[in-house]
Amino acid sequence: MFRGLLYGACVLVLLLCAAMVYSLVSGSWQAFGQFGFFRFLFSAEWDPTVGKEEYGAWAFVTGTLYTSFLALVLCIPFSLPVALFTGEYFKKTRIAAVIGSIVDLLAGIPSIVYGLWGFYTLCPLMKSWGLSDQGFGVLTSSIVLAIMIIPYASSLSAEFISMVPNELKEGAYSLGATRLEVVRTVVFPVAGSGIFAGYVLALGRALGETMAVTMLIGNTIQIPRSLGDTGNTMASVIANQFGEASGLKLSSLIAIGLLLFIITAVINFLGKLIMKRQRGR
């Protein structure tokens, strides 16, 4: 009976995934039939004027990729030291438990709270420092995204770092290796695939983030040319315009959701492929 429950749960998950894909494909069929897949993907024009309707996703795709990958780059210098602190240097100590609790607390804060903090605190700072004309833009939203994904990357990385067998580290110490050499030659090679998986999951969180980015990126339909430029992401344009959309525009927004689904799936697949190769090595 227990095995039957397991099979039933797996079938339910597959059916839910298939239903989601079907609804996205069927909803976006009108847009792809009107413009074609590649024209819709690589066109940056978004004109909802009646009689002229022209829609393209490229401005939103670039905005999503810019903010997400920049957030990941900004996240690494902060999340990796936290992971080493809690998972290796001060493993199973009270200070590590306190830091871990704070990290978990940051992970549980709703995205709207991060957006409000960025709006009222970070935007004025970006404007006063001359990094953005109005405080909004790619850099502002990327900084907030980086803060949001640091808890995911650091907690997962710390978990994999703490799972490195003590026998391997003690063997390196017995050969005269320093703490830094043990981390570099033992911990990172053994836990590397897990650390990479943590950053892939963090990137997936950044790709799909909506409210905080919507409040901070500026919501202009253009391809960002610099870090101070405003723009839009795939999730933010759906959040802003889905409520009033109908007809071809609604289908175009659903098509953008399908593209976001595909991009996230491709990134996760590449991450698992690289992890498998690292395990093989």
Please give the Cα distance from 115 to 147 (Å, whole number): 11
Decide if 139 contacts 227 (C-beta within 8 A): yes
pLDDT band at 1; cut points 50, 70, 90? low
Task: Tell me which residue of 96, 87, 220 sits closest to 153, measured CA to CA.
Answer: 87
pLDDT in tens, 161-180: 888 888 888 888 887 778 88
Residue 142: C-alpha distances to residues 13, 121, 209 (Å): 33, 15, 11
Task: Tell me which residue of 68, 45, 60, 63 sits closest to 226, measured CA to CA.
Answer: 63
Asked if pLDDT for residue 202 goes beyond 70, the answer is: yes
Phi and psi torsions of 259, nearest 5° = -65, -40
- Predicted pLDDT of residue 277: 65
- Predicted pLDDT of residue 143: 92
Please give the Cα distance from 129 to 135 (Å, whole number): 9
* pTM confidence score: 0.86
Token code pair at residue 39: 């024209």
C-alpha 182: how far from chain center: 30
Upper half-sphere CA count for residue 269 (Cβ side, 13 Å):
6
The domain made up of 54-280 has a fold known as MetI-like fold (1.10.3720)
Question: What SS3 class is residue 222?
Answer: coil
What size, in residues, is the chain?
281
* Mean pLDDT taken over the chain: 84
Sign of CA dihedral 134, 136, 138, 140: positive
Instruction: Look up tokens 């836990």; give the residue.
Output: 191
- Predicted pLDDT of residue 70: 92
- Predicted pLDDT of residue 281: 52
Q: How many Cβ atoms are within 10 Å of 168's Cβ, its own excluded?
A: 15
Q: How many Cβ atoms are within 10 Å of 51's Cβ, its own excluded?
A: 4
pLDDT in tens, 66-120: 999 999 999 999 988 888 888 888 887 888 888 888 888 888 888 889 989 988 9
Sign of CA dihedral 261, 148, 93, 161: positive
- Predicted pLDDT of residue 72: 92
Instruction: Look up tokens 């907030």; give the residue.
Output: 144
Residue ranges in the chain assigned as alpha helix (H): 2-35, 37-42, 58-84, 94-108, 111-117, 123-128, 138-162, 166-174, 179-182, 188-208, 211-216, 234-241, 247-280
Please give the Cα distance from 157 to 83 (Å, whole number): 6
Give the residue with greater pLDDT, 144 vs 165: 144
**Mean pLDDT within 23-39:** 87
pLDDT in tens, 35-48: 888 888 888 888 88
Asked if pLDDT for residue 280 goes beyond 60, the answer is: no
- Predicted pLDDT of residue 157: 86
Please give the Cα distance from 200 to 207 (Å, whole number): 10
Decide if 212 contacts 142 (C-beta within 8 A): no
For the chain, give every domain's residue range.
54-280
**Mean pLDDT within 247-265:** 89
Decide if 162 contacts 155 (C-beta within 8 A): no
